[in-house]
Amino acid sequence: MATRKSTAPRDVDDYLSRVPEESRAALEKLRSTIKSVVPEAEEVISYEIPTFKLDGRMLVSYAAFSEHCSFFPGAGPIEEHKSELKSYQTSKGTIRFTPDKPLRASLVKKLVMTRVKLNAQSMQKRAAGKQAKPKAARAAG
């Protein structure tokens, strides 16, 4: 049985090398802006698109499509900064933009910092929940 060669990108540089030049420039600027905010974040390919992870958790992703580019900071950051995103098409966790009208670096920084904050809050809640359960179990026992 012959194995099929995967066409999925090996890494972020491989992904970007496949993107048309105009979109690539916009995505490379987005990438460097994200790195400036969270230089310790790990760059991976997840769901075949470039993704930044921090402390093992998904932070933000981005991708190029035939008619636009997308930035995926998640629903929380989009909701928190919706007034600044009025000139972009958004959905629950996605912001669409075109290479000739990219996201402003200052806005990307705000969105990324909001995602970092929301992830940290989620981790704190999860940790508090895990600590609370054993006490409740002991009380019930």
Domains defined for the chain, CATH in brackets: 12-133 (3.90.1150.200)
pLDDT tens-place string over residues 33-91: 999 999 999 999 999 999 999 999 999 999 999 999 999 999 999 999 999 999 999 99
pTM over 0.95: no
∠64-39-12 over CA atoms, to 5°?
Answer: 30
pLDDT tens-place string over residues 114-133: 999 999 999 888 888 877 65
Residue 96: Cβ-neighbour burial (10 angstroms; 0-12, 13-18, 19+): middle
Would you mind telling me the total number of residues written for the chain in this entry? 141
User: Residue 37 has which token pair?
Assistant: 């905010």
What is the pLDDT at residue 8?
A: 87
